[in-house]
Amino acid sequence: MAFVMILETDFVLPFQLDKAPVRGRLVRLKHSVEEILKHHQYPSLVNLLLKELIALCATLANFFKFEGVFTLQVSGDGPLRLMVADITHTGEIRACAKYDEEKLAKLSPSPSSIQQIVGTGYIAFTLDQRNVEDRYQGIVELSGTTLSECLHHFFRQSDQLETGIVVFSNETEITTDHLVGALIIQRMPTPPGLSFEELENENDAWLRSLSILGTTTAHEMLSTRLSAQDLLYRLFWEEDIRIFPSRPVKAQCHCSKDRVTQMLRTFSPTDIQEMVQDGKISVTCEFCNQKYTFEPKSLLA
């Protein structure tokens, strides 16, 4: 009898290396990105980059302890004007994109850099926490040929964290089977009081971990025969890796009729009247395409 391995997906797997000053996260997503993308008719190139952004958003958010929403956003003046993904502390993720269809159609099928697609722009992340008035936000210009290289630059400039990132997707022109994986490692702060030799050992261990990360292949990341745990042990077994319990990720929009009502009630009566079409006010969520319809008088009560 033949056995078929079913790939585990839609989780973030935290880990730490005991022989190196490294913590990391591995994410594999399938059903969540399929659920997000089915609400839109994005071109293949937009799907590819948005999937990478979704995977990176889920991975990065898990480096923080928070209650609220973590948002990762890329904006520019090119054919792809905006990509945004956000995730709650309980793993509910959503994403959307805005693009110029005519400009996008003129691009090469395989653009050589993200700047050709997004143009001049920036990458930002925002942490909105419950019961905390101030938001934590970091913004840097897009620098690098790929989304992962832009994030490398982001961490060097904003948080000065030494970080390594790889991200892979199986998206092609002929497949609708959406699968994406990302692996991120970060160097942990150096404890005080280390000798010169101990510092050198930590530096060597970090560089060794980066080198190992660079050997990761798309086949390994997206393999239906290699579990996430086995992949991490294959890569980092010499560093005494410790793998912690996985954290689920699922596609779930945060919109609701109550939220939209509260938003509309922040507008003046004049603005609300200008929104009326055929006696109704209609609002469509850009993330999930859910449409909400209101009687104008219900918003003016």
Each residue of 104-126: pLDDT tens digit? 988 877 788 888 999 999 999 89
Mean predicted confidence (pLDDT) in 82-96:
95
Residue 195 φ/ψ, nearest 5 degrees: -75, 170
Whether residues 186 and 261 share a domain: the answer is: no
Whether residues 245 and 280 share a domain: the answer is: no
* 74 lies in some domain: yes
Q: pLDDT grade, residue 89 (50/70/90)?
A: very high
pLDDT of amino acid 133: 72
Q: Which of 32-41, 65-74, 128-137, 190-199 has the lowest mean pLDDT?
A: 128-137
Q: What mean pLDDT value characterizes the chain?
A: 87
Q: What is the pLDDT of residues 243-285, one digit of tens each?
A: 999 999 999 998 888 888 888 888 888 877 888 887 888 888 8
Whether residues 118 and 32 share a domain: the answer is: yes
Looking at 217, 232, 251, the residue that finishes a domain is: 251
pLDDT at 298 over 80: no
* 5 lies in some domain: no
Whether residues 270 and 125 share a domain: the answer is: no
pLDDT of amino acid 23: 95
* pLDDT above 90: percentage of residues in the chain: 47
Whether residues 236 and 292 share a domain: the answer is: no
* 37 lies in some domain: yes
Whether residues 56 and 72 share a domain: the answer is: yes
* 228 lies in some domain: yes
Contact 86, 118 (CB under 8 A): no
pLDDT of amino acid 230: 94
Residue 218 CB contacts under 8 Å (≥ 6 apart), including other chains = 168, 170
CATH code where residue 214 lies: 3.55.30.10
Whether residues 282 and 177 share a domain: the answer is: no
Whether residues 241 and 290 share a domain: the answer is: no
Q: Which two tokens stand for residue 190?
A: 């150096």
Residue whose entry in the numeric block shows the structure tokens 């302890």: 65
**Domain around 125:** 11-251
* 106 lies in some domain: yes
Q: pLDDT grade, residue 171 (50/70/90)?
A: low
pLDDT of amino acid 228: 92
Residue 133 CB contacts under 8 Å (≥ 6 apart), including other chains = none
Higher pLDDT, 153 or 26: 26
pLDDT of amino acid 177: 60
pLDDT of amino acid 174: 37
Whether residues 135 and 263 share a domain: the answer is: no
Q: Which of 47-51, 79-83, 213-217, 219-223 has the lowest mean pLDDT?
A: 219-223
Mean predicted confidence (pLDDT) in 151-167:
82
CATH code where residue 294 lies: 3.90.1280.10
CA distance 232 to 240: 11
Number of domains the chain is built from:
2
* CA angle at 155 for the pair 149 and 158, rounded to the nearest 5°: 130
